Structure 1
Amino acid sequence: MTLELILAAFGGGLLGAVIGALPAFIFTGFIGLVGVAVIAAGGPEIILNDITFGALFGPHIAFAGGVAAAAYAANKKKVLDSGMNTLIPLSKYRDAGILIVGGVFGVLGLGINYLYSTILVLQTDTIAMTVVTSGIIARLVFGNTGLFGKMIPADDEVAAASELNRRRYFPDLKTLGLNIIIGLGLGLVVSYVVILTNIGPFGFCVSAASLMFAQMGFSIPATHHITLVAGLAAIATGNIFIGAAFAILSAILFEIAALIFNSNCDSHIDPPATAIFICAFIIFAVF
């Protein structure tokens, strides 16, 4: 790890705060698609590996920096409506401190990923694991609801009886069924494409780019945890059915992580990244 890379990570995290966490992640998808095209044309992997997942738009740097800056802007500076809001470009508040928090967490993300991938050599998707770790740190440092959320006071009878205060840790049957169908369909097609091209993050990049529609206000679900895991399993096994099975598992884990970490909370801990690193650990361990 060089000084130049550390400084670049500061800039990447600050960029995530400037344009917002979700817009930064959308750029991850689009730049990743450029990298995929270069590889498909027989070119080098530098755009995909060192730029898409590096200091410029690596989720552990730019997205995580934006998430931490949003938590700080909402809970400490009181200028953002919620620390869960990852859509807003935080430069609009004209507060250098908010942007610096993004930069600091960009460097933190670089360091945590280096610890996980190079020093500890963890057999999982260390970038996803870093995104989760960074989100946890941001909540503990800037948040007020604790790691697992804060329930409504029980002495408020109306609130205590409300849906908000009924804590669930597993999705209902309708949500579960929807996730299984989405995981199955996307898992099959992405596994097929990944085996065909031998480019594991292909589906992930498409999914990340598709979130531009969520940024516009359309009800587009996050699917990158499904497509990335399907790609990992397909590359490891060469079997689209195994790819689809892990895609379904990832879709279910996503919903569980969202219920555990993002119910009645004041900052964002990323459910897709949680599902990705758990599934990646299983895939690497088994295959």
Structure 2
Amino acid sequence: MGALPAFILTGLIAIAGGTAALAGATDVTVGFVAFGAYLGPHVAFAGGVAAAGYACKTKKLGSGTDILSSLYGTGDPMTLLVGGIFGLAGMLIYQFFAAINLPSDWPGTTVVILAVITRLMFGSTGLTGKYEGEGRREYFTGGKGFFCNVVLGLGIGAAVGFVSAQMLNVGTDPALMRSFPIVCFGIAAASLIFTQTGFACPATHHIAYPAACAAVWSGNPVMGVIFGILGAVVGDFILKTFNSHCDTHIDPPATTIMILMFAVTILFA
């Protein structure tokens, strides 16, 4: 179905499972469906990214950065098999990270690793792309765009941070609040359905998820604001550095989550 459509489904299941767990129900859909072998980003999204890279290299897709198109539409069994092989590799890498208890986000880190492998195997632009424009290459969005990113991160970070504080103030069990970041992630991921359908909706899961984790794990909503802004700024840098002027997709949100969740885990877990 393509990388982004699969990820949108991940978000929908994360909302359902995370909300159930937040309400005190026993939930297994988050671990086994949303972040498991069914729709886990390290399986479904990463597999879709690899399949797109392969399909472009074999002239069956216009761009290896196309994460919106269904790879079934290529009519090529090998494209589907490449996606499946990378999905299997994603599950194995994830299990390894779980075994060593990697101090970061396991699905996000796996997505990054497989995206780099995809670029090296099927791309030709190198990890940072091939800039062929005039003037100096931009590594951050400048002008009003930079401030838009800061405002976006500030707004989402404040929302998740202070909503988490309100929930604790009304007596929500702190143990149940561990599911709150999953709900925030799910809402952000599901909102990409608007991107899929052609609207200028930004990716925000790399902002909402680390911000919510920072706020909940630290017990301080201000940390949500700080990590919200960091998510927006770091994500912009990753986009400009690794996912511009290139021919395969290295996911800026997953890379940002990998970096920030390492910091959040070290500081607050």
Q: TM-score by structure 1 length? A: 0.86
Secondary structure class of the residue paired with 1:281:
helix
| Deviation (angstroms), 1:192 | 2.8
1:169 alignment counterpart: 139
| Deviation (angstroms), 1:244 | 1.0
- Higher RCO, 1 vs 2 (CA within 8 Å, ≥6 residues apart): 2
How many residues are aligned here?
257
Secondary structure class of the residue paired with 2:9:
helix
Distance 2:107 2:131 in 1: 31
Determine whether 1:125 maps to 2:95.
no
Determine whether 1:74 maps to 2:56.
yes
Q: Deviations over 1:132-154 (max 9, x none)?
A: 111000010111111111233xx
Q: Deviations over 1:1-60 (max 9, x none)?
A: xxxxxxxxxxxxxxxxxx000000000011111112322343213111221111111111
Distance 1:125 1:236 in 2: 14
Select between 215-224 and 186-195 the one with higher mean Cα deviation. Answer: 186-195
Determine whether 1:228 maps to 2:209.
yes
2:96 alignment counterpart: 115
1:21 alignment counterpart: 3
Kindly provide the amino acid, as one letter, of the partner of residue 123 in structure 1: P
1:9 alignment counterpart: none
1:145 alignment counterpart: 125
Secondary structure class of the residue paired with 1:187:
helix
Determine whether 1:42 maps to 2:24.
yes
Secondary structure class of the residue paired with 2:151:
helix
8 Å contact from structure 1 (residues 211, 220) kept in 2? yes
Distance 1:114 1:169 in 2: 34
Distance 2:70 2:31 in 1: 26
Instruction: Return the match for 1:269 from 243, 250, 263.
Output: 250
| Deviation (angstroms), 1:117 | 2.7
Secondary structure class of the residue paired with 2:198:
coil
| Deviation (angstroms), 1:193 | 3.2
Distance 1:151 1:40 in 2: 46
8 Å contact from structure 1 (residues 73, 79) kept in 2? yes
2:187 alignment counterpart: 206
Distance 2:16 2:67 in 1: 24
Distance 2:9 2:162 in 1: 25
Instruction: Return the match for 2:224 from 243, 256, 265.
Output: 243
2:38 alignment counterpart: 56
8 Å contact from structure 1 (residues 194, 202) kept in 2? no
8 Å contact from structure 1 (residues 194, 200) kept in 2? no
Structure 2: gaps spanning 5 or more residues: none
1:157 alignment counterpart: none
For the structure 1 residues 24 and 185, does the alpha-carbon distance in structure 2 shift closer, same or farther, using more than 3 Å as the test? same
Residue identity (%): 45
Determine whether 1:135 maps to 2:115.
yes
Distance 1:102 1:166 in 2: 36
Distance 1:111 1:251 in 2: 30
Secondary structure class of the residue paired with 1:275:
helix
Secondary structure class of the residue paired with 2:181:
coil
2:70 alignment counterpart: 89
CA RMSD, 1 decimal = 1.4
8 Å contact from structure 2 (residues 161, 211) kept in 1? yes
Secondary structure class of the residue paired with 2:228:
helix
Q: TM-score by structure 2 length? A: 0.91
Select between 240-249 and 39-48 the one with higher mean Cα deviation. Answer: 39-48
Determine whether 1:179 maps to 2:149.
yes
Structure 1: gaps spanning 5 or more residues: 1-18, 153-159
For the structure 1 residues 262 and 244, does the alpha-carbon distance in structure 2 shift closer, same or farther, using more than 3 Å as the test? same
Secondary structure class of the residue paired with 1:200:
helix
Instruction: Return the match for 2:86 from 99, 105, 123.
Output: 105
Kindly provide the amino acid, as one letter, of the partner of residue 117 in structure 2: I
